[in-house]
Amino acid sequence: MSGVNKNIVILISGGGSNMAALVKAAQQGRWSERFGARVACVISNRAEAAGLLLARRQGIDTAVLEHKNFATRAAFDAALMSEIDRHAPVLVLLAGFMRILTPGLVAHYDGRLLNIHPSLLPAFPGLHTHRRAIDMGCKFAGASVHRVTAEVDQGELLDQAVVPVLPDDTPDALAARVLTQEHLMYPRVVEGLLARMD
């Protein structure tokens, strides 16, 4: 493969553990050599997001767009699209990005926009997934990687990881076990997509 021409942009709001797992997988899996792919930029809607420091330590370009500085969701998404498009990404990966995106942004990245969600979709879209799974008496929980559509957590499922719910589980304990599976699954899905690109 001649040169690195497939840019990946990752959007985060917090600690960025899934982003870090993706960056590590890109390095260890030699995505640049094998696929001509690299994580080109990490963008956050919160300046204090710890994941930004992790990205900078890896030499990855970062950007901050504070959503509270924009009058409307549409104005924020327009600025976000402009920032993302500077990198001409083949994939835009949501990794704990805590914003509901406008249909216009979702349509702009149709087929290129992925999310990881901490439940076995279609069960428990939205927030507080682990508490809801425990409260419902679920025997299993997990995570899903899916394409993003205008409907929250409703897009095509690309992979899922299943974790048992233990009798004495708390939401935090369950979340921690699910997260270890997220860190394996998300990079695997992305690598598979890169391998199928021309």
d(CA 107, CA 155): 12
pLDDT confidence of residue 161: 98
d(CA 170, CA 182): 18
d(CA 197, CA 177): 32
> Is 67 marked active-site?
no
Q: Which residue has the higher pLDDT, 113 or 3?
A: 113
Given its phi and psi angles, is residue 156 left (phi above 0), alpha (psi -120 to 50 degrees) or beta?
A: beta
pLDDT confidence of residue 157: 98
Average pLDDT on 148-171 reads 96
- For residues 70 and 76, the answer to whether their CB atoms sit within 8 Å is yes
Residue 1 reports pLDDT greater than 50: no
Residue 154 reports pLDDT greater than 50: yes
Q: What is the pLDDT of residues 11-63, one digit of tens each?
A: 999 999 999 999 999 999 999 999 999 999 999 999 999 999 999 999 999 99
Catalytic residue among 117, 130, 146, 183: 117
**Average pLDDT value over all residues in the chain:** 96
Full set of structural domains in the chain with CATH: 6-196 (3.40.50.170)
What is the full DSSP assignment across 32-81?
HHHHSEEEEEEEES-TT-HHHHHHHHTT-EEEE--GGGSSSHHHHHHHHH
Residues 6+ apart with CB under 8 A from 20: 51, 54
Residue 2 reports pLDDT greater than 60: no
Q: What is the pLDDT of residues 70-92, one digit of tens each?
A: 999 999 999 999 999 999 999 99
DSSP 111: T
